A and B are shown apart, each in its own frame.
Chain A
Amino acid sequence: MEWFIANWTFVAGLAATHLSVSVVPIVVGAFLAVVFARVTPTRWVNPARGVLGAIYAIPSLALFVTLPALIGTDFTGPTNVVIALTIYVIASMYFSAHDAFHQVPRPTVTNAESMGMSSRQIFFHVELPMAVPGLIAGLRVAAASTISIASIGAVVGVRNLGYLFIDGFQRKIPEEIITGVLAIFVIAVTLDAGLWLVGRLMTRWRFVTVDHA
């Protein structure tokens, strides 16, 4: 606690970078996962699951340092970390996003069609709102993991909260490491709670008429 009080501005700065390195992958990854999940033809779903499942299993440090060989980025620095985290978010959210769209009842879509809604309108006004609970559930898992995994980026020279682990270990200050663990935990849990709230607010209609989708 003493260490944290003396160094809180330093920790706050790292937390800000940590968030900025994590937010892009979460937003971009979630968007791409939703798009991929929506457009994948049914017969490709299972192969896609297999491939993404394998990608999701790749240890983060290994993925960070494999990217330069594949796409020619620098070995160290934030680019690989941001790309790798985006890939994880896609791989992690694809499953839940696909299920979320799949669970939208067919009759509801048919109803909308018969009301003369265009496919664009159906997507934005029927399918997407109904898929929100599933999408948010998947996003919550992906977001919390991203915040936590981003810390490993410190090993390849990204200055974020993970730096507290490396610096604390070098200087033998357990409080510094524990501060890092707690800071990441608090950010991840806050983000999780925030997303839960957003999901709740976006789906208020659900609680008026029905209990479960």
Chain B
Amino acid sequence: MLDLTELGAWFSDPENWAGRYGLWNLVAEHLTLTFVAIVVAAIVAVPLGVAIGHLGRGEFFVVGLGSASRAIPTMGLLFALVLVMGVQFRELSVVLALSAIALPPLVAGAYSGVTTIPPWIRDSATAQGMTAWQLVRHVELPLAAASIIGGFRIAYIQVVSTVVLAPLVGLGGVGFGIIQGLALRNFSQVTASSIVIIVITVAGDRLIGLSQKFLSDRLGKPKPLETS
């Protein structure tokens, strides 16, 4: 059962925070891997999702990508890529695997953000003489922003969860404390590490949720076209 004294002792021991595999370093590594993977995925996914939504074709691709990604075990994807690409490219293969995991929700977020815009908004923008690019830039992107962020939210949760497995392929991240702790039967370390992971995940999710709310409040209504 949860032994708060032992847990407190673990957290208050400076040894557990310092060094290569100290908590600070592991948290930084965890968040860096997550961040890099999501940025890499977003560079591809957001334009792709917006384009599919804008052109109105390829819905089957987005839906298929979504259900396929649920059925593919992230752990297998991670292990296979690292094994095939080799340890020299360990970081790269982990980032690629994580990006592949982030891709479907990002595409879906961007896509549904654009397709849920009522047709009359688009029609009136076109009627005002907007080019396709202006329509995307000034109407679709702002109106889809909240949904795009929603995609980031799901991508964050999935990537942060998968990074927990990174120590199994020789990288760090907070999962290190779980994997090492299980082998050493140091269960306060296991519990402490999983608490840190839960805090990172839930806090990140809430933070992105707040920015989503902020954006939908500011950009949710169509605003006048800027002329600059």
Indicate if A touches B (C-beta under 8 A).
Answer: yes
Chain A contact residues: over half helix, strand or loop, or mixed? helix
Q: Write out, one digit per residue, whether chain A residues 168-179 have a CB within 8 A of any chain B CB (1) or not (0).
A: 110010100110
Q: How far is the CA of A166 from the CA of B165 in the complex (A)?
A: 11
B194 at the interface (CB under 8 A from A): yes
Whether B202 lies near A155 (C-beta < 8 A) is no
Whether B201 lies near A72 (C-beta < 8 A) is no
Query: Which residues on A sit within 8 Å (CB–CB) of B48?
Result: none
Task: Give the total of A residues in contact with B, Cβ under 8 Å.
Answer: 47
A66 at the interface (CB under 8 A from B): yes
Shortest distance in angstroms between B84's beta carbon and chain A's nearest beta carbon? 5
Interface set, chain A 151-174, CB cutoff 8 A to B: 151-152, 154-156, 161-162, 164-166, 168-169, 172, 174
Taking a contact as CB atoms closer than 8 A, the residue among B70, B157, B191, B194 that contacts A148 in the complex is B70
Whether B157 lies near A57 (C-beta < 8 A) is yes
Q: Write out, one digit per residue, whether chain A residues 31-75 have a CB within 8 A of any chain B CB (1) or not (0).
A: 000000000000000000000011001111111011011111001
Taking a contact as CB atoms closer than 8 A, the residue among B3, B77, B169, B187 that contacts A181 in the complex is B77
B145 at the interface (CB under 8 A from A): no
Interface centre among A53, A57, A63, A178 (most CB of B within 10 A): A57
By beta carbon, the residue of chain A nearest B70 is A144
Taking a contact as CB atoms closer than 8 A, the residue among A62, A70, A149 that contacts B197 in the complex is A62
Q: List 5 A-B contacts (CB under 8 A).
A: A69-B2, A155-B179, A169-B169, A177-B83, A181-B73
Interface, chain B (partner A; CB < 8 A): 1-3, 7, 67-68, 70-77, 79-80, 82-84, 157, 160-162, 164-165, 168-169, 175, 178-179, 182, 187, 190-191, 193-195, 197-198, 201-202, 205
